[in-house]
Amino acid sequence: MDTMKEEHPAEERSDASAAGEQPSSAEGNGENGLCPRQEMNEMLERLSDGFYAVDTGWRITYMNRQFERLMGLSKEECLGRTLWDCMPFLLQTLSYDLYHKALRENITVSFERFDTTIQRWLQSTAHPSPSGLSIFLRDITEQKKSADALRLANERFRLAAKTDAIYDWNIETNELIWGEALLDIFGYEPETFQIAEWLGAMHPEDRKEFIPALQKALHDTAVIEWEREYRILHQNGDYCHAIDRTNIIRDKNGNAVRLVGVMKNITGQKKLEQELQRQRQKTTAAIIQAQERERAEIGRELHDNVNQILTSVKLYQELILANHQEREMLVRKSIGLLLQAINENRSLSKRLSAPTLGNMRLHESVNELAETIAATQRFELTLDTASIATLDVNEDLHLAIYRILQEQFTNILKYAGASLVTVRLSVTDKILRLEIRDNGRGFDPEQKRNGIGITNMNMRAESLGGNLVIDSA
């Protein structure tokens, strides 16, 4: 990669390629005992740039040590050979064209190029003379990286300047400078939106807290970054939620002299947070209502079933104590009623709690739940867990499957009026699939419902990376 930088006529200079010329016998020694040519070579060897010289036939006549280090070449392999033999990668490049132009038109050329052989950026400057070219190579890789980093930072700043209201407040002069985005984001002209206008646009409640909080931060020499949320009046008359993030620049004594920061419109974010909060409150309320309904239902179950059974047992026991003539029959009836009460109590307990998962596999807990439901004799239940008989799952997944199945059984019992229910658990490509089918009444999944059963099932599935699919007619 080559980048043309500049070119200009070269001055007449008899020593432009002096490093490659032979000294005449008339040359004398300098003060240090070296001839001019030797002094020139010593100077070229001390250069931090790479340097080499070619004659008019493009043969390399000299190269310094820095050039050897930079290009990975040596005098032994290059001196006397043509430039294009030693560095064939320069052929058919801008370097080739510009070096020829410099020699042909007697002008100095300077350009930048990325050398793919050494993976470095180089600045090449070629000076012509009657005897050839003197070429300097400077490694500018780090400069390029710094320039690229600066360019990227500037691009990011320009992007931020379009999306955030950037400001610079000189506390000593009370001058406030805004970026152009202030107009787009909040509707105010940057030139006229000074401190008084800024504070005046704040919501009165927030302004009361903003001013003392800012003053406290400015007087605390340890504070160099400060952040505050507040409401600010948009030019259209609506209040926006804004967040102000600023850097406090201090003098050597720790006094705040400037504030440089950004004011960002977070109204959309706030609305989303408020909506999420409303949804959480709504869900919490629905859960509480469901719990209350469940408690009421349990109370009715205890009153209508277990209490009635226990009342009958009490009556039988009183008859027995009164030496009733059918004492043996009454004892047997009492035992039967007590067993019935125990079963009712067990059924309620299982509805309220998950199974003890300890060493129990998924198919075992599912079978146990199915047996409990089948005992109601409300419908015929078919269960297929053969493909998961040896499957081990973690506790979270185990409990989620159990609760989803339990919830759907409850829905079928309450609403479907089904006579046949089929449950199948299977694993395909490491995906666990639970299918529950019934022949009862359907419903519209899109219709808003008061209960949270389906929501709970969906949330349990999503929490484990799964999904709930309902097909009802």
- Give percent of the chain above pLDDT 90: 41
Domain end call among 265, 286, 302: 265
- Does one domain contain both 210 and 327? no
Which band of pLDDT confidence, cut at 50, 70 and 90, is reported for residue 358?
Answer: low
Tell me what pLDDT residue 415 has: 87
Model's pTM, two decimal places? 0.38
Neighbouring C-beta atoms of residue 183, cutoff 10 Å = 16
Domain end call among 139, 159, 192: 139
Task: Report d(CA 345, CA 366) in Å as an integer.
Answer: 20
- Does one domain contain both 170 and 219? yes
pLDDT of 14 above 80 = no
Cα-only R_g, the chain: 44
- Does one domain contain both 343 and 359? no
- Does one domain contain both 132 and 206? no
Task: Report d(CA 318, CA 310) in Å as an integer.
Answer: 12
Q: What is the DSSP string of 85-112?
A: HH-GGGTTSHHHHHHHHHHHHTEEEEEE
- Does one domain contain both 82 and 16? yes
Residue 275 sits at φ, ψ, to 5 deg, of -65, -40
CATH of the domain at 369: 3.30.565.10
Strands (E), 312-394: 380-384
Tell me what pLDDT residue 340 has: 82
pLDDT of 116 above 50 = yes
Q: Based on the number of CB atoms within 10 Å of its own CB, is 397 exposed (0-12), middle (13-18) or buried (19 or more)?
A: middle
Identify residue 44 by its one-letter amino acid code.
Answer: L
Which run of H or E residues covers position 345?
helix 327-352
Which band of pLDDT confidence, cut at 50, 70 and 90, is reported for residue 22?
Answer: very low
Task: Report d(CA 14, CA 287) in Å as an integer.
Answer: 96
Q: What is the pLDDT of residues 377-415, one digit of tens each?
A: 889 999 999 999 999 888 888 888 988 998 898 889 888
Tell me what pLDDT residue 215 has: 94
- Range of 444's domain? 355-473
| Mean pLDDT score, 27-39 | 59
Tell me what pLDDT residue 294 has: 72
Q: What is the pLDDT of residues 156-192, one digit of tens each?
A: 555 555 668 889 999 989 999 888 888 988 999 989 9
Q: What is the pLDDT of residues 251-309, one digit of tens each?
A: 989 999 999 888 999 999 889 988 888 888 887 777 777 777 777 777 776 766 677 77
| Mean pLDDT score, 468-472 | 88
- Does one domain contain both 359 and 348? no
CATH of the domain at 249: 3.30.450.20
Our count of domains for the chain comes to: 4
- Does one domain contain both 110 and 164? no
- Does one domain contain both 275 and 167? no
Tell me what pLDDT residue 150 has: 65
Tell me what pLDDT residue 352 has: 64
Of 6 and 443, the structure prediction assigns the larger pLDDT to 443
Tell me what pLDDT residue 186 has: 92
Tell me what pLDDT residue 96 has: 93
Q: Which of 93, 88, 91, 46 is nearest to 71 (CA)?
A: 88
Task: Report d(CA 313, CA 328) in Å as an integer.
Answer: 14
Helices 362-374, 395-411: crossing angle, 10 deg rounding? 20
Which band of pLDDT confidence, cut at 50, 70 and 90, is reported for residue 20?
Answer: very low
Domain end call among 244, 265, 286: 265
- Does one domain contain both 364 and 442? yes
